[in-house]
Chain A
Amino acid sequence: MADKFETPVLGDVEERPMPALACGAMAQSRSYVAAPAHQEALGFPKELVPDWQEKAIAKMGDLLSRYRSLRVYMDICVKCGACTDKCHYFLGTGDPKNMPVARQDLFRSVYRRYFTLAGKIAPKLVGAKEFTKELLDEWFNYFHQCSQCRRCSVFCPYGIDTAEISMAAREIMDSIGYGQKYCNEIIGKVHKIGNNLGLPAPALEDTLAGLEEDMEADSGVAVKMPLDVHGAEVLLITPSADFFAEPHVLGLMGYAKVFHASGVSWTLSTKASEAGNFGMFIGNYEQMRKIAMRIREAAIELGVKRIVFGECGHAWRVAYSFLNTLVGPWDFLDPRYPVPQHIVEFTTDLIRRKGIKLDKSGNDGMVLTFHDSCNIARASRMGDFPGGQFVLPREIIKATVPKFVDMNRDTILEKTFCCGGGGGLLTDELMEVRVKGAKPRLEALKQVVEQEGVTHMATICAICKAQFTKVLPYYGYDREMIVSVHQLVSNTIILGDND
């Protein structure tokens, strides 16, 4: 797998100039199209249907009538340019089609042609375009170079949400048999096996048993990884990457130790062995609902009182923002706790009440910074006050390491840069766009490494962890710089003596 592109040179985060335009630079960067089997498993047409143009326009009409926001976004853009230099993919690639406004215009030009009077009468005057196969292919390329991170919408004076437009575009493409392999293959595995990885129950059991062994060998305490335990207090829903990849799995061991030390009984579920919900990435409500329904069913079957989510960015958006309307009501859960709750909330609460004790020497020599994950930063909240999603994870990190430093203010909190792999782009054939899209984040990281001696960057999203682990070496950094927040807790928590 030789990479046929050059890794960009990291610049100064304080300057971050507008990149020189490189027209068509990413025109060849293309996701794999879903195979007929991947499409069929989700009830989508197996391949591009012959009358795709007519069907796509009808679908667009359907979406415009269902989501008023979409129509407003189509009509309200005044081409002010505020968004142009805010997308990490544009900043990393210089391809003007990766400017948020240009991405929206791929959709908008078709909208104008078929849904506005001016576009029907004088298309050329208003930038309206026929929906040709060539334009459809541009849709496929560039709507899969959007990680739906919503940074551009923070700077848009009208709040146009490019993520929502890219979700609508993907839904239209799925409906005509032109889906993306990465997302659709994974959703199929969730339906068939229960998680994105395709990890069957016996393998999950074996993996968890191995982790119990490791934790006992390391700490001398028998910390459990309970699976399908009826009557447990908490059901933990976590991304399946937590069972498989590094550093994800170190975070999972952190959650287990926190539950152990808190004395709260908990369980994982084979049925709901995935927090992620790629139904959101493809903009498909039915898929999103079907994936979320497993969580409800598992909670009822196991008779739990609380649901806690592990470290997964977009899962928390779905959980925090949509779970209630998607698969609620949750009246059978204990109303004294947030429904659902984030593991970061759970742990912060224990730290504040001194329900767990931490010994910072477990993380000696580490200087941490924190990467805010887009879906947590801009599409949800934690705790009971605005901005809690920024404060709580930092509170945990500060309690577990000797030194914490934030990155440049324009690259964190609500202005955080995407890792470069979110929204269904974490796939090998998009490596160039992933490496280049990580550039703005890594420029900010480079500054704190050089000026503050930062050794590690923590994050609370499985995609961010996998993406950084992969792309950091391209820029000369060690992949093990990326850590889970609960990995830091795992290294410091005192087990066995919490009275």
Chain B
Amino acid sequence: MAYTVNGKTVEADEEGYLVNINEWNEDLAALIAKDEKVDMTPEHWEVVNFLREYYAEYQIAPAVRVLTKAIAKKMGPEKGSNKYLYELFPYGPAKQACKIAGLPKPTGCV
């Protein structure tokens, strides 16, 4: 499949994950989020931006626990829980948030 954003076509795999992560931009993220029926709030952007920063350093999305800790640090301890992340990204913080952030899908027994 592919996304069309600002007149440009961006290639994605069967599930909507970007083929080339460098083609990501915020407009595209908003479009992917819309397809996923996720309304992007500042809290969603915090998560997406953290995922991208972590990926830039480690070439993989962070473990769920690493993500919850980082969110707690940024947004307060009451938001540093798996439950809160599922509220933001109902299909699962790892997979859905990665898709919106333009990162590859975590694979394996997860």
Contacts and interface: CB of A to CB of B under 8 A. Distances in A.
Nearest to B14: A32
Interface of A is mostly: helix
Interface stretch (A193-201, A257-265, A300-308, A434-442): A193-201
Interface stretch (B22-30, B45-53, B57-65): B57-65
B79 interface: no
A276 B66 contact: no
Interface residues of B, number: 26
Contact of A239 (B37, B95, B106, B109): B109
A462 B66 contact: no
Query: Chain A: interface residue count, which band?
Result: 35 or more
Contacts of B108: 186, 189, 195-198, 239-241, 244, 276, 462
Interface in B82-98: 82, 86, 91-92, 94-96
B37 A2 contact: yes
Interface stretch (A42-50, A64-72, A202-210, A325-333): A202-210
A245 B64 CA distance: 6
A1 interface: yes
B60 A185 contact: no
A166 to B, nearest CB: 19
Most buried by B among A244, A428, A470: A244
B106 A244 contact: yes
B109 A245 contact: yes
B15 interface: yes
Contacts of B86: 479
Given A210-B66, A429-B15, A246 B58 contact: no
B44 interface: no
A496 to B, nearest CB: 24
Contacts of B65: 207, 210-211, 214, 246, 249
Interface in B28-84: 36-37, 58-60, 62-66, 69, 82
Contacts of B9: none
Nearest to A278: B108
Nearest to B91: A1
Contacts of A198: 60, 104, 106-108
A380 B57 CA distance: 41
B58 A203 contact: yes
A203 B37 contact: no
A5 to B, nearest CB: 15
Contacts of A309: none
B20 to A, nearest CB: 13
A247 to B, nearest CB: 9
A245 B94 contact: yes
Contacts of A276: 108-109
Contact of B107 (A189, A202, A206, A207): A189
Interface string A166-188: 00000000000000001001100
B37 A185 contact: no
B60 A470 contact: no
Contacts of A239: 108-109
Contacts of A207: 62-63, 65-66
A203 B59 contact: yes
The residue among B65, B107, B109 with the most chain A CB atoms within 10 A of its own CB is B109
A243 interface: yes
Nearest to A32: B14
A285 B65 CA distance: 35
29 contacts: A1-B36, A2-B37, A185-B107, A189-B107, A189-B108, A195-B108, A196-B108, A197-B60, A197-B110, A198-B107, A203-B62, A207-B63, A210-B66, A239-B108, A239-B109, A240-B108, A240-B109, A241-B108, A241-B109, A244-B63, A246-B82, A249-B64, A249-B65, A276-B108, A428-B15, A428-B95, A429-B14, A429-B15, A465-B109
